[in-house]
A = this chain, B = another copy of it.
Amino acid sequence: MVNYRDLELKPNVYAAICPSREVLALVGEKWVSLVIGALDGKTMRFGELRRICEGISQKMLTQTLRKLERDGLVSRTLYADVLPIKTEYRLTELGRSLLPIVQAAKLWAEENLHQIEENRVLYDKNNQ
């Protein structure tokens, strides 16, 4: 397995082979921003996250959480001794460092949605 670091190149999203592009794409995955935003400042259980992210399926929540755990953005603690079994998810330091970006993107989307919808109507009218 070749690590990008071994090439001793500075990561650059514009470079065709740079894996930082994939990291950039992470933010845009359907449920990633919502899950990270939901974990802002608090630990959450699987079921809580599921209720908050309206429309997410069990499969996608598990998949999203595993991916974030693998990347080190989220940590998972399993309480198997206490029954019923309980898992707690929280942001790691790395995960928290992504919070400002996720929250800014979320806010931008909410604030500019109407303008964008109007732009689309106008564009479609002018281009048949």
Contacts and interface: CB of A to CB of B under 8 A. Distances in A.
B105 A24 contact: yes
Interface residues of A, number: 60
Copies in the complex: 2
B28 A119 contact: no
Contacts of A23: 108-109, 112-113, 116
B11 A113 contact: yes
A124 B66 CA distance: 11
Interface of A: 1, 3-5, 10-16, 18-21, 23-30, 33-34, 37-38, 52-55, 69-72, 94, 97-98, 100-101, 104-106, 108-124
Given A54-B15, A69-B123, A70-B119, A112 B100 contact: no
